[in-house]
C-alpha cells in the first residue's frame, strides 16, 4: 500500500470514527460541564476518564498526586525506542460561579468550567476512542500518550505534577488545544514561538497602627498606601523594564478596613505580573519588591511582598506548528488554519514545551458569523460545540500522521 493510499484510508477512518463518536463526546462534555471540579480535586473527572478508556480496552493510570491520568495507545509490535506522540488536556475548572443559563450548567456552587477545560478533556478522551479504532483496524503506526493533566489553573500549574509523575517519559513531541472565543468554530489558530506569556501572582500586605480618620497624622495610612500601589506600580515597571517585554502588573483584589471613619491596621492588594518574554519576566519579578517598598515608604507602613512563581511563556516549536498545520489542513481543509497573536494569558503547558518539542493551538469556539463571544474566565463563557469534532479530527490527525521532510 502506498503512503498516499494509507494516508487517505487513515483520514477516512478518522472521519468515520469521529462521526460515530461525536454525540457521545458531546454528552461527556456536558456531563463534565455539569460537574466541574477545581484543581487537585478532580476525582470524579479522573474516574470518568479512566472508566471510559478502560471500557475501550485501554489501560489508564492515575497520576501519583491522586487526580489526572495518562494512557498509551499503541500499535501492534510497538517499540518505545521509537518514541511517543503526546497529547495533553487540562481537566480542572475555575472557582467562579456560572451564569450561562445552559440546561447542563454547573450544579456545583461557585465552580464552573469557564475556561473550556471540559471541552479539552472530552476531546482528548474522544481521541483515545478514535485511536483505539485505528489500532484495531491496523492503521495506527505510531504510539500515542494521552495526558489528562490536573490543576492547570493553579501556580505553578499541575503540569509540574504530571511531569514529576513521569508522563513525558518516551514522549518525543507533544500537542495541546485551548478554546479560543476570538476564533471561529471550524478553525485552528497557530503561531510559531511564544503564544502565551509568563505569569506570576503578587500579594502585598501592609500593616500600621490604624486609628481614627480624624487624626491620619497619628497613624500609618494603609488605605492611602494601597491606593498608591494600585495607581503607580504599572507606570514604574514600564520605566524600568524594556517595553518590548510587555510587562503588565494588574491588580485584581484590594482589601482593607470595614468602616468609613477608621483607618485599618492592615490591608492587602493582589494581582498578576505578566511578561511576553523570560528576560522581562525575570527582571520584573526582581523589581516588584523594591518598587513596592519605595512607593509605600512615605506612608510609614510595614510591607511584606510575596511573588509566587507561576508559569513561563508557552513557546511553540517550528516543527510542532508545521505538524499541527499539516494535520489541520488535511482534516479540515486549507481554510481550517489561521494565524494568531501572543496573548498575555498564562498556560502551564509551557512547562511541557520546555522539555519536549511541540505546539499549543487555539481551538475556535466562536459561532461562525458571530461578532463576539463571551471571554474565558467569565461566568457567561460558552462554546459552540461544533468545535468538538474539529478538535477530535485535528488531534487524531497529528497523532497518527508521519512527519515528512520539509513538512
pLDDT at 406 (0 to 100):
43
The mean pLDDT value for 3-31 works out to 91
289 with 381, same domain: the answer is no
146 with 253, same domain: the answer is no
Of the three residues 269, 284, 311, the one that is the final residue of a domain is 311
Q: What is the pTM of this model?
A: 0.93
- How many structural domains is the chain composed of? 2
pLDDT at 2 (0 to 100):
60
What's the chain's Rg over C-alpha atoms? 24
CB 183 within 8 A of CB 189: yes
Inside any domain, residue 59: yes
Of the three residues 254, 284, 311, the one that is the final residue of a domain is 311
pLDDT class of 372 with cuts at 50, 70, 90: confident
The mean pLDDT value for 234-260 works out to 97
The mean pLDDT value for 180-204 works out to 97
Of the three residues 248, 280, 311, the one that is the final residue of a domain is 311
Inside any domain, residue 405: no
Using the predicted structure, report yes or no on whether residue 21 has a pLDDT greater than 50: yes
Inside any domain, residue 276: yes
Domain housing 90: 3-196+313-400
Inside any domain, residue 358: yes
pLDDT at 407 (0 to 100):
41
317 with 307, same domain: the answer is no
191 with 327, same domain: the answer is yes
Mean pLDDT of the chain: 95
Cell of 201: 501572582
Cell of 84: 511517543
List, for residues 266-303, the tens digit of each pLDDT value.
999 999 999 999 999 999 999 999 999 999 999 999 99
List, for residues 326-351, the tens digit of each pLDDT value.
999 999 999 999 999 999 999 999 99
**What is the percent of the chain where pLDDT is above 90?**
94
Inside any domain, residue 169: yes
50 with 66, same domain: the answer is yes
pLDDT at 371 (0 to 100):
85
Question: Which CATH number do you get for residue 242?
Answer: 3.30.70.360
Inside any domain, residue 149: yes
Whether the bond into 156 is cis, omega within 30 of 0:
yes
What is the distance between the alpha carbons of residues 388 and 378, in angstroms, rounded to a whole number?
Answer: 21
Question: Which CATH number do you get for residue 88?
Answer: 3.40.630.10
Cell numbers 458569523 label which residue?
Answer: 369
List, for residues 92-138, the tens digit of each pLDDT value.
999 999 999 999 999 999 999 999 999 999 999 999 999 999 999 88
Using the predicted structure, report yes or no on whether residue 405 has a pLDDT greater than 80: no
The mean pLDDT value for 157-184 works out to 97
Inside any domain, residue 38: yes
- Per-residue burial over 253-265, b if 16 or more Cβ lie within 10 Å, else e, is ebebbeeeeebbb
Inside any domain, residue 407: no
Using CB atoms within 10 Å of the CB of residue 138, give its burial: 0 to 12 exposed, 13 to 18 middle, 19+ buried: exposed
Cβ-based neighbours of 250, under 8 Å, separated by 6 or more? 234, 271, 272, 274
List, for residues 213-246, the tens digit of each pLDDT value.
999 999 999 999 999 999 999 999 999 999 999 9
List, for residues 346-365, the tens digit of each pLDDT value.
999 999 999 999 999 999 99
Amino acid at each position: 500500500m502506498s503512503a498516499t493510499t494509507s494516508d487517505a484510508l487513515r483520514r477516512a477512518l478518522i472521519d468515520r470514527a469521529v462521526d460515530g463518536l461525536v454525540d457521545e463526546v458531546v454528552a461527556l462534555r456536558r456531563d463534565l460541564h455539569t460537574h466541574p471540579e477545581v484543581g487537585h480535586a478532580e476525582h470524579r473527572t479522573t474516574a470518568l476518564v479512566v472508566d471510559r478508556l478502560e471500557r475501550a480496552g485501554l489501560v489508564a493510570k492515575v497520576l501519583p498526586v491522586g487526580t489526572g491520568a495518562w494512557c498509551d495507545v499503541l500499535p501492534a509490535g510497538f517499540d518505545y525506542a521509537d518514541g511517543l506522540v503526546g497529547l495533553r488536556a487540562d481537566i480542572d475548572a475555575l472557582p467562579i460561579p456560572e451564569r450561562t443559563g445552559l440546561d447542563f450548567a454547573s450544579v456545583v456552587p461557585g465552580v464552573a468550567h469557564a475556561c473550556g477545560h471540559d471541552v479539552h478533556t472530552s476531546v482528548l478522551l474522544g481521541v483515545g476512542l478514535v485511536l483505539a479504532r485505528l489500532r484495531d483496524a491496523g492503521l495506527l503506526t505510531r504510539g500515542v500518550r494521552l495526558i489528562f493533566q490536573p490543576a492547570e489553573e493553579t501556580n505553578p500549574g499541575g503540569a509540574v505534577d504530571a511531569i514529576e509523575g513521569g508522563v513525558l517519559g518516551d514522549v518525543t513531541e507533544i500537542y495541546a488545544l485551548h478554546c479560543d472565543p476570538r476564533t471561529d468554530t471550524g478553525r485552528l489558530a497557530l503561531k510559531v514561538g511564544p503564544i502565551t506569556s509568563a505569569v506570576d501572582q503578587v500579594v502585598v500586605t501592609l500593616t500600621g497602627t490604624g486609628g481614627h480618620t480624624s487624626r491620619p497624622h497619628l497613624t500609618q495610612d494603609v488605605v492611602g498606601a494601597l491606593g498608591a500601589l494600585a495607581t503607580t506600580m504599572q507606570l514604574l515597571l514600564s520605566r524600568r523594564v524594556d517595553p518590548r517585554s510587555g510587562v503588565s502588573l494588574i491588580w485584581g483584589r484590594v482589601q482593607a478596613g470595614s468602616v468609613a471613619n477608621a483607618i485599618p491596621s492592615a490591608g492587602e492588594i493582589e494581582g498578576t505580573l505578566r511578561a511576553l518574554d523570560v528576560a522581562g519576566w525575570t527582571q520584573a519579578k526582581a523589581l516588584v519588591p523594591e518598587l513596592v517598598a519605595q512607593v509605600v515608604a512615605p506612608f510609614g507602613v510595614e510591607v511584606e511582598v510575596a511573588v509566587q512563581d507561576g508559569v513561563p511563556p508557552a513557546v511553540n516549536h517550528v516543527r510542532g506548528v508545521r505538524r499541527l498545520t499539516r494535520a489541520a489542513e488535511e482534516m479540515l481543509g486549507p481554510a481550517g488554519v489561521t494565524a494568531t497573536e501572543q496573548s498575555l494569558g498564562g498556560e502551564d503547558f509551557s512547562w511541557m514545551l520546555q522539555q519536549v518539542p511541540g505546539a499549543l493551538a487555539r481551538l475556535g469556539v466562536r459561532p461562525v458569523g458571530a461578532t463576539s463571544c463571551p471571554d474565558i474566565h467569565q461566568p457567561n463563557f460558552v462554546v459552540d460545540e461544533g468545535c468538538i469534532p474539529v478538535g477530535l479530527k485535528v488531534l487524531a490527525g497529528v497523532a497518527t500522521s508521519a512527519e515528512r521532510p520539509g513538512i
